[in-house]
Structure 1
Amino acid sequence: MYESGLVDAVMIATPHYDHPPEARKAFAAGLHVLIEKPAGVYTKQVRQMNEAAAASGRKFGIVYNQRMNPLYVKLRELIASGELGEIRRTNWIITNWYRSQAYYDSGSWRATWAGEGGGVLINQCPHQLDLWQWTIGMMPSRIRAFCHFGKHRDIEVEDDVTAYVEYPNGATGVFVTTTGEAPGTNRFEVSGDRGKIVVENGNMQFWRLRESEREFNKRNHVPFAAPECWKVELPPFGRSPEHVGIMQNFTDAIRHGTPLVAPGEEGIRGLSISNAMHLSTWLDDWVDLPFDEDLYERELNRRIAGSRHSKRAELQSAAPVDLSGTH
């Protein structure tokens, strides 16, 4: 198909490890590429994919459909415009990714190091990890994470994660996620020296300080005083086009040169954060970004070597098929 001359672009929605090699083949054939998240399993292979994309001159997008969500677009605009001032803290608790054991048992590749390359960080959370850095406009400088592997389910990868990050400007952040909690929460909070924004339940709340906290603190002499704060009412933002929006934008980029909302090259950013969380847990230490990509690959390969993916695949292929309910 790649070499047929009958197609202009491909969308790659294979298991995770195959995203970069399939994309490289497509670029070599002169095709535009739209890949599903995640960009890949480890940054080293994704970096090679990005280099192939740049050399090809073709359009390269990734299905970060939440970049089309008007809530996060507005959050990004407010931060970039300086409405929140300097970012001081981010907190994202995303625990509404509930997945049962039946979900994990539905495919031999799921929740294995050899088949999937990770758990909740690599499968469910790439959207949040991307938005975490995209909306505030900066990557963490270092990470200390605590990933629990098979804590709630009979799986070999992470299903419960708490991570603490530090940013280049001195700000801090916390990221909490799991697939074993019900009911779950999805709450993203960003605090700056000019206020606070909370995105939760499809809504945005914005508390705006009349003056920056820093300036208030300089002039204030009253022991229990606090900066004057206004709750800003924001109009409805409308529905998110998500996948449809990403695919339309990708098509427009090819046909009309419209800038991509989610350039494929940026997929490495969220993946860098999840890789660093894994590595921090494996080494039981802080990890600076950028990290040693060769070290991550070695540590990942150690876990792949002991993965039960191949054994599960053999068991599933050998299992008898019940056709009694089919016609």
Structure 2
Amino acid sequence: MSDIRYGLIGCGNMGSGHANTLTSGAIRGAALTAVCDASADRRVWLRERYPSVTVFDTTEALLDSGLVDAVIVATPHFDHPKDAIAAFRRGLHVLIEKPAGVSAGRVRLMNEAAAASGRRFGIMYNQRMNPLYQKVRDLIASGELGEIRRTNWIITDWYRPQAYYDSGSWRATWAGEGGGVLLNQCPHQLDLWQWTTGLMPSRIRAFCHFGKHRDIEVEDEVTAYVEYPNGATGVFITTTGETPGTNRYEVTGDRGKLVVENGRLTFWRLRESEPEFNARNTVPFDRPEEWKIEFPNLGPSPEHAGILQNFTDALLNGAPLLAPGEEGILGLSISNAMHLSAWREEWVDLPLDEAAFETELQRRIDTSRGRG
């Protein structure tokens, strides 16, 4: 099969980055053949920068052009499901930017369209390419950590000044983005949280502060407590209003603890499982023997280019997708549940009541200063 012909829907910051990657020749078996953008000025720039690529005024014109085998959707959050569904209905493969969408209910329709089309579907969860998180997932899946008892992620190094939010009237509004730090900055961590552990929470109690540190509508500080089906618990803390920030991910099992921080992975490994030790021990204040294992540098992460190459390989030779698009609903359901819990000031069970979330979100969109 010849090169996969990619079309790019949306050429803002992320879209332009994908265009540069594809036109640089960095992705084996891939070529950028068409792009589209809603901005007339942007289209002029695109024609000047990529003279060999066809530039379209609308998404529909690109999808109907016959010039592409697959599309990358890099439009605003609300449009991801709509644009992906339109592509699937034309028999095209789809790779979407994160997040999968704004609400799990709308994303579910996209997943159903993907299944009905028989096309390949991926999401730009580039952090799944990071060797650190791949190793965490491997150690948990292999049983080295034992049964998970607790997770804890503090991700507060998303600092954003007011000038960032003032750079676009759509930024940090319910109508423009559909959420704040949970939807804009943290989708990767929310995905990795469930991807590395293989666990989705069974219920969530979240406390979201809306416009606490900045003049914005949406959440800029979140503390959430979760419970898992096996009895484990977890905490997720994030903000865009704190500096210097922290990025520390801990997973504790009955055979030790994993910590990812400052680009390094450390594993405290118990000689025997904690329940086994506790059952036989008769010495007050004793504890299981442990080893501290500091993993060497696990190598660079190929990031977005890695996802693009993996998706291209899937289309050309059936390689398994590292980030299937259908899995975008998982992290999004967690963030939706956090929002719903904060809005209603109560526990929220998972699977999510998608209709309840949609109703609450729409109330905020209707009064958002980002409307129109």
The alignment's TM-score, normalised by the length of structure 2, stands at 0.83
- Corresponding position: 1:154 with 2:215: yes
**1:5 lines up with 2:66 in the alignment:** yes
Tell me how far apart the structure 1 counterparts of residues 354 and 92 of structure 2 sit (CA, whole Å). 28
Correspondence for 1:237: 298
Equivalent-residue separation in structure 2 for 1:138 and 1:161 (angstroms)? 21
Distance 2:123 2:294 in 1: 33
Give the equivalent residue in structure 2 for 1:21.
82
Contact 2:213 2:241 in 1 (8 A): yes
Matched, 1:207 2:268: yes
Which letter does structure 1 place at the counterpart of 2:209?
H
What is the match of residue 265 of structure 1? 326
Match of residue 32 from structure 1: 93
Larger RCO (alpha carbons 8 Å, 6+ apart): 1
Report SS of the residue matched to 2:311.
Answer: helix
Confirm whether residue 296 of structure 1 aligns to residue 346 of structure 2: no
Structure 1 position 291, deviation (Å)? 1.9
Q: Letter of the aligned partner of 1:168 in structure 2?
A: P
Aligned residue for 1:187, secondary structure, equals strand
Inter-partner Cα distance in structure 2 for 1:15 and 1:112? 12
Q: Matches of 1:31 and 1:101 in 2, distance apart?
A: 40
Aligned AA (1:154): D
Aligned-residue offset at 1:8: 0.5
1:233 Cα shift? Answer: 3.5
Unaligned runs of 5+ in 1: 314-327
Q: Distance in 2 between matches of 1:291 and 1:268?
A: 11
Q: Quick one: distance in 1 between partners of 2:287 and 2:126?
A: 39
| Cα separation, 2, equivalents of 1:91 and 1:186 | 11
Q: For residues 265 and 108 of structure 1, what CA distance do their matches in structure 2 show?
A: 31
Superposition pairs for residues 46-61 of structure 1, below 5 Å? 46-61=107-122
One-letter identity of the residue aligned with 1:181: E
Query: In the alignment, residue 185 of structure 1 is paired with which amino acid?
Result: T
| Cross-structure match for 2:307 | 246
SS at match of 1:309: coil
Which residue matches 2:125? 64
Residue 107 of structure 1, CA deviation: 1.0
Counterpart of 1:143 in 2: which secondary structure?
strand
CA distance in 2, matches of 1:297, 1:232: 45
Find the residue that maps to 2:251 and give its secondary structure: strand
- Asked if residue 116 in structure 1 is aligned to residue 177 in structure 2, the reply is yes
The answer to whether 1:285 aligns with 2:325 is: no
C-alpha distance in 2, partners of 1:10/1:106? 28
> What SS is found at the alignment partner of 2:243?
coil
Report the Cα distance in structure 1 between the residues aligned to 2:350 and 2:208, rounded to whole angstroms: 18
Instruction: Give the corresponding residue for 1:318.
Output: none
For 2:369 and 2:199, the matched residues in 1 are separated by: 37
Q: Residue 209 of structure 2 contacts residue 221 of structure 2 at CA under 8 Å; is this kept in 1?
A: yes
- Work out whether 1:144 is the aligned partner of 2:144: no
CA displacement 1:197-239 (0-9 Å, x = unmatched): 1000100011000000000000001111011011123232100
Of 106, 113, 124 in structure 1, the residue corresponding to residue 167 of structure 2 is 106
What is the distance in 2 between the residues matched to 1:235 and 1:30? 45
User: What are the Cα deviations for residues 95-115 of structure 1, in whole angstroms up to 9, with x where unaligned?
Assistant: 000011111111111100011
Measure, in 2, the Cα distance between the counterparts of 1:86 and 1:107.
Answer: 45
The Cα of 1:292 is off from its aligned counterpart by 1.2
- State the one-letter code of the partner of 2:98: K
Over the residues paired in the alignment, what is the CA RMSD in angstroms? 0.7
Pairing 1:179–2:226 present: no
- Partner residue of 2:134? 73
Amino acid at match of 1:99: R
Number of residue-to-residue matches in the alignment? 311
Q: Which aligned segments of 4 or more residues in structure 1 are displaced greater than 2 angstroms? A: 233-236
AA paired with 1:42?
A: S
TM-score normalised to structure 1 length: 0.94
User: In structure 1, the residue corresponding to 2:291 is in which secondary structure?
Assistant: strand
**Letter in structure 2 aligned against 1:109:** W
Contact 2:264 2:295 in 1 (8 A): no
Other structure's SS at 1:164 match: strand
Q: Where does residue 222 of structure 1 map in the other structure?
A: 283
1:273 CA drift (Å): 0.2
